[in-house]
């Protein structure tokens, strides 16, 4: 039998769909799963495909053409290390292992070093797009040596999503760059989802039906906000429950799950001192949602407006929709500005030579955050590769300047009516702080100097000269 072009370990849904995707592009694929009955079922379910189902890891490795290209699709963490360890004795020098899971990028860096010392090649590749993306074309974010990328390029390009004929994959950079960028992608995904949920919460509280909301999101999807997440939201509002005939969205418990990539992104932003209010707000919102029992208890104790039925006053429904749209669009720009800021900062520190325009380009298709809006981000970085902040790119400045008043009104309306808007509000505060010529840190510096002699600079003295006040007034006991 001829040797396979590609091998995949881990036949959960993502793994199975990736295999079918690779095979459909004319490659022979070998598969291995620890529970071999899963392999048997998969092969039996795909009788006409050019697949090799291996019963043992030895058989799997032997079935592959060299240099072997083996993608691992198992749970991030220990299972990836375990698979790598069991592969090592079976591989030849220069064989390639690809980790396609949602792995923490520092683990990828450790594994790459470990494997390269042994003479093997390793690629940490973020793969986005869920089950359907894996099957029809995901967005792929591979990191690792450029020479290894060159070997993988034909397969990755053929299986990835395409937008205007351009594959949604590019070599992100050395080491853990691919998994790092995928992690931030997921953080941005959390932000996008939360912004949509905040819009929904306001609409719901203002008395809009699910049907009306389906129409609003469908309408938004026909304009500048066109994106996968807005589109699926419109469809979610149309879905009825088979059992009760009710709208499914109303039957789903308001407790959000999370696997951790959003949290990792926020932790990364704190480590790097990058302001991250939109995405941090989205992670907090998920955590608070999961504290359902406490929320139920507190709802009967802590007072505030009844946030399920507010009066629009003189505002028409159409005006509210327009204002919320502008609040969402502006907050989204802030979210991407913060996410890209983190990517740029870590990329510089790690010397990854990241191309932010190319990253936005490969997010246009295949992945969960795919959106029309990403074209403008690519353009912004193509015009100025060293853009200080996305908000300062002329296209986005214009959107923000024209939407900022509505954004404020929506945040104020939400606060007045007791509707939590951590990501709308956090984004607006970032916007206002970023554009503020003066912030209250003069007082903060005085406080630091008062209690800790931490010193301060003066506006009337050259920058870099530090002063301490010896005689701050004593406290009276
Ligand atoms: C993707 C997604 C995916 C992620 C899920 C669930 O890009 O295809 O980001 O990788 O695992 O969306 O993530 P949470 O469970 O953390 O919401």
Q: What is the pLDDT of residues 51-69, one digit of tens each?
A: 999 999 999 999 999 999 9
The residue contributing the CA closest to ligand 1 atom 17 is 258
pLDDT single digits (tens) 392-405:
999 999 999 999 99
How many domains does the chain contain in total? 3
Domain that holds residue 280: 182-435
Instruction: Look up the CATH number of the domain holding residue 474.
Output: 1.20.5
Q: Tell me: do 80 and 227 sit in the same domain.
A: no
How much is the average pLDDT of 214-232? 98
Catalytic site positions: 182, 189
Q: Tell me: do 427 and 315 sit in the same domain.
A: yes
Q: How far is the CA of 55 from the centre of ligand 1 (A)?
A: 30
Percent of all residues in the chain with a pLDDT value above 90, rounded to a whole number: 97
| Per-residue pLDDT, 1 | 80
Q: Is 285 inside a domain boundary?
A: yes
pLDDT single digits (tens) 112-140:
999 999 999 999 999 999 999 999 999 99
Q: Tell me: do 387 and 249 sit in the same domain.
A: yes
- Is residue 109 predicted with pLDDT exceeding 80? yes
Instruction: Look up the CATH number of the domain holding residue 406.
Output: 1.10.1040.10
Q: Is 268 inside a domain boundary?
A: yes
76 labelled binding-site residue: yes
Q: Tell me: do 149 and 195 sit in the same domain.
A: no
Q: Which atom of ligand 1 is nearest to the CA of 257?
A: 15
Q: How far is the CA of 103 from the centre of ligand 1 (A)?
A: 12
Q: Is 1 inside a domain boundary?
A: no
| Per-residue pLDDT, 81 | 98
pTM of the model: 0.96
Q: Tell me: do 245 and 169 sit in the same domain.
A: no
Q: Tell me: do 141 and 207 sit in the same domain.
A: no
Q: CA distances (Å), 53 to each of 8, 11, 33, 79, 166, in order?
A: 10, 11, 9, 21, 32
Q: Is 452 inside a domain boundary?
A: yes
Residues having CB within 6 Å of any atom of ligand 1: 102, 128-130, 186, 189, 257-259, 261-262, 367-368
Mean of all residue pLDDT scores within the chain: 97
- Is residue 284 predicted with pLDDT exceeding 90? yes
- Is residue 28 predicted with pLDDT exceeding 80? yes
Q: Is 98 inside a domain boundary?
A: yes
Domain boundary among 144, 174, 204: 174
pLDDT single digits (tens) 164-201:
999 999 999 999 999 999 999 999 999 999 999 999 99
Q: How confident is the model at residue 470 (pLDDT cuts 50, 70, 90)?
A: very high
Q: How confident is the model at residue 260 (pLDDT cuts 50, 70, 90)?
A: very high
Q: Tell me: do 449 and 472 sit in the same domain.
A: yes
Q: Is 107 inside a domain boundary?
A: yes
| Per-residue pLDDT, 238 | 98
141 labelled binding-site residue: no
Domain boundary among 174, 203, 236: 174
Q: How confident is the model at residue 229 (pLDDT cuts 50, 70, 90)?
A: very high
376 labelled binding-site residue: no
Q: Is 206 inside a domain boundary?
A: yes
Q: How confident is the model at residue 466 (pLDDT cuts 50, 70, 90)?
A: very high
| Per-residue pLDDT, 414 | 95
Q: Tell me: do 387 and 284 sit in the same domain.
A: yes
Domain boundary among 118, 153, 174: 174
Q: How many residues does the chain have?
A: 477
- Is residue 307 predicted with pLDDT exceeding 80? no
Q: Tell me: do 187 and 308 sit in the same domain.
A: yes
| Per-residue pLDDT, 311 | 83
| Per-residue pLDDT, 34 | 96
Q: Is 309 inside a domain boundary?
A: yes
| Per-residue pLDDT, 125 | 98
- Is residue 301 predicted with pLDDT exceeding 80? yes
Q: Tell me: do 318 and 397 sit in the same domain.
A: yes
Q: Tell me: do 91 and 169 sit in the same domain.
A: yes
- Is residue 306 predicted with pLDDT exceeding 80? no
Q: Tell me: do 267 and 379 sit in the same domain.
A: yes
How much is the average pLDDT of 58-84? 97
């Amino acid at each position: 039998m001829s040797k396979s072009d590609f091998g995949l370990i881990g036949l959960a849904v993502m793994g199975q769909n990736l295999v079918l995707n690779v095979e459909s592009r004319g490659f022979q694929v070998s598969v291995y799963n620890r529970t071999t009955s899963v392999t048997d079922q998969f092969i039996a379910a795909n009788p006409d495909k050019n697949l090799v189902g291996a019963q043992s890891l030895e058989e799997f490795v032997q079935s592959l053409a060299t240099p072997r290209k083996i993608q691992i699709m198992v749970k991030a963490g220990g299972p990836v290390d375990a698979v790598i360890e069991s592969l090592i004795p079976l591989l030849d020098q220069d064989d390639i292992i690809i980790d396609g899971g949602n792995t923490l990028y520092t683990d990828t860096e450790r594994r790459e070093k470990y494997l390269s010392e042994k003479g093997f090649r390793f690629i940490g590749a973020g793969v986005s797009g869920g089950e359907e993306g894996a099957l029809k074309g995901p967005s792929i974010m591979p990191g690792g040596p450029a020479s290894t990328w060159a070997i993988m390029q034909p397969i990755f390009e053929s299986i990835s999503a395409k937008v205007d004929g351009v594959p949604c994959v590019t070599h992100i950079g050395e080491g853990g760059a691919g998994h790092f960028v995928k992690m931030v992608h997921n953080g941005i995904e959390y932000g996008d989802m939360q912004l949509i949920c905040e819009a929904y919460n306001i609409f719901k509280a203002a008395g809009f039906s699910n049907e009306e909301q389906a129409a609003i999101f469908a309408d938004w999807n026909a304009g500048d906000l066109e994106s996968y997440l807005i589109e699926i939201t419109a469809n979610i509002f149309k879905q009825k429950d088979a059992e009760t005939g009710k709208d499914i969205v109303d039957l789903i418990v308001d407790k959000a799950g999370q696997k951790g990539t959003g949290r990792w992104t926020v932790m990364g932003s704190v480590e790097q001192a990058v302001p991250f209010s939109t995405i941090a707000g989205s992670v907090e919102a998920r955590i608070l949602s999961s504290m359902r029992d406490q929320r139920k208890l507190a709802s009967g104790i802590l007072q505030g407006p009844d946030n399920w039925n507010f009066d629009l006053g003189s505002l028409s429904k159409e005006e509210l929709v327009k204002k919320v749209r502008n609040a969402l669009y502006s907050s989204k720009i802030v979210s991407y500005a913060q996410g890209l800021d983190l990517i740029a900062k870590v990329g510089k520190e790690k010397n990854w030579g990241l191309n932010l325009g190319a990253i936005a380009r490969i997010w246009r298709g295949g992945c969960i955050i795919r959106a029309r809006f990403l074209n403008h981000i690519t353009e912004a970085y193509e015009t100025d590769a060293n853009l200080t902040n996305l908000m300062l790119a002329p296209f986005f400045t214009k959107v923000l300047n024209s939407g900022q008043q509505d954004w404020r009104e929506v945040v104020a309306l939400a606060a007045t009516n007791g509707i939590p808007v951590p990501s709308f509000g956090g984004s607006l505060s970032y916007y206002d702080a970023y554009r503020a010529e003066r912030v209250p840190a003069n007082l903060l510096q005085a406080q630091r100097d008062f209690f800790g002699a931490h010193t301060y600079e003066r506006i009337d003295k050259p920058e870099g000269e530090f002063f301490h006040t010896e005689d701050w007034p004593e406290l009276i006991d």
